[in-house]
Copies of this chain bind each other. A is one copy, B any other.
Amino acid sequence: MVTIKDVARLAGVSISTVSRVINDSKPVSKEVREKVLEVIKETGYRPNDVARSLVTRRSYLIGVIVNDLSSSYVAEMVKGVEEVGKMYNFDILLCSSYYDTEAQLKYLRLLDRKQAEGLIMIGYKYDKEIIDKVKELNKPTIFFTRDLIDDSLKYVKIDSKSAMYEMTNYVIKNGHKNILYVSDYDEKSTYEAEKIQGFKDAVGDNNIDIYEILEVQGRKYREGYKFGEKLSNKGFDYTAIVCTNDEIAYGIMNALFDNGIKVPEDVSVVGYGGYKESKIIRPSLTTVSEPYYDIGAVAIRNLIKEIEGEEEVENKIDLPFTLTKRDSIRNIK
């Protein structure tokens, strides 16, 4: 392995000078610079970032802790984080905790030891233990989570109440008067509570009084499917089903389909999220699209601003959503 010392010796200069030409940090005479560059080329010298980190106290590393990378929206966010991070010369250290608090704690410690300069937490909800640890680490950190239990934290989010309001409103405008809202969890998160509020507000503002809110035990495709099966078996007279997320929505849709109930002919279904799959399934899913790539991009952009000590960094960032109108809903007016 060739080091800066070797280069210096071979070029007949001091290591300071070599450092200067590598980093372009101070003027170096043309001849010396060329000589050094030549030696670097000949020897194939490559600076060691670990050594550099130690003295500059900069790692240009950002730790990202996710629950599960195989959720398409998580992958999309990480992609945004990674790509924008790279634009600012930051690298991503990826950790996936699979919803486990112990793992999250472990990775928090790990990232700290690795001198990560910032943290991005992408998850569903966090134990107080995690929140406390994050505060203790005292590093720039940004959350994307469904449950914001601590107001001193920095996060990026979507105004889910308005989003669900608009979605529900759209459903109603399509003539639906008997609507089921499928909530994703019995243990209410602030995020889910907001969505339900949006739904209720829309229903109230439109004087719809035949509606129901049911809970599915989980938030994945599987659970949605099971729920849809139960629904099919017991029968129902809703004309529209509003789901708290896309996976639940296409879980339900597939169960209906497999039980001979047609969407949107027999019942309309709408989702929330705008996951990749929502445009691939048939009928394509009407949904609220959350800009996951952008969420990741904005999160890291903001984090880097804070790391670089810029002044005007916002603490709470609201990103716009869009209503994606597709084929899973029918106008029954």
Q: Which residues of A contact B (CB under 8 A)?
A: 44, 46-51, 53-54, 59, 68-70, 72, 74-76, 78-79, 82-83, 86, 91-96, 98, 109-110, 112-115, 136, 221, 250, 254, 257-258, 276-277, 280-282
Taken together as a complex, chains A and B put the C-alpha atoms of A50 and B76 apart, in Å, by 30
Taken together as a complex, chains A and B put the C-alpha atoms of A86 and B51 apart, in Å, by 24
Given contacts A69-B78, A76-B70, contact A254 B282 (CB under 8 A): yes
By a CB distance below 8 angstroms, the chain B residues around A49 are 113-115
Q: Point out which of A44, A48, A258 has the most chain B C-beta atoms below 10 A from its C-beta.
A: A48
Taken together as a complex, chains A and B put the C-alpha atoms of A254 and B277 apart, in Å, by 12
User: B46 contacts A50, CB within 8 Å?
Assistant: no
Looking at the complex, which one of B46, B54, B96 makes contact with A82 (CB distance below 8 Å)?
Answer: B96
Looking at the complex, which one of B51, B78, B281 makes contact with A54 (CB distance below 8 Å)?
Answer: B51
Looking at the complex, which one of B53, B95, B112 makes contact with A46 (CB distance below 8 Å)?
Answer: B112
User: A93 contacts B96, CB within 8 Å?
Assistant: no
Looking at the complex, which one of B44, B93, B277 makes contact with A277 (CB distance below 8 Å)?
Answer: B277
User: A79 contacts B72, CB within 8 Å?
Assistant: no
CB distance from A263 to the nearest CB of B (A): 10
Looking at the complex, which one of B50, B79, B250 makes contact with A59 (CB distance below 8 Å)?
Answer: B50
Q: Can you report 9 A-B residue pairs in the complex whose CB atoms are below 8 A from each other?
A: A46-B109, A50-B115, A74-B75, A82-B95, A91-B114, A93-B94, A94-B94, A254-B280, A281-B282
CB distance from A5 to the nearest CB of B (A): 14
CB distance from A22 to the nearest CB of B (A): 11
A-B pairs, top 8 by smallest CB distance, nearest first, are A75-B75, A49-B113, A69-B79, A50-B53, A94-B94, A92-B94, A49-B114, A69-B75
By a CB distance below 8 angstroms, the chain B residues around A48 are 54, 113, 115
Taken together as a complex, chains A and B put the C-alpha atoms of A96 and B75 apart, in Å, by 12
By a CB distance below 8 angstroms, the chain B residues around A86 are 95
By a CB distance below 8 angstroms, the chain B residues around A76 are 69-70
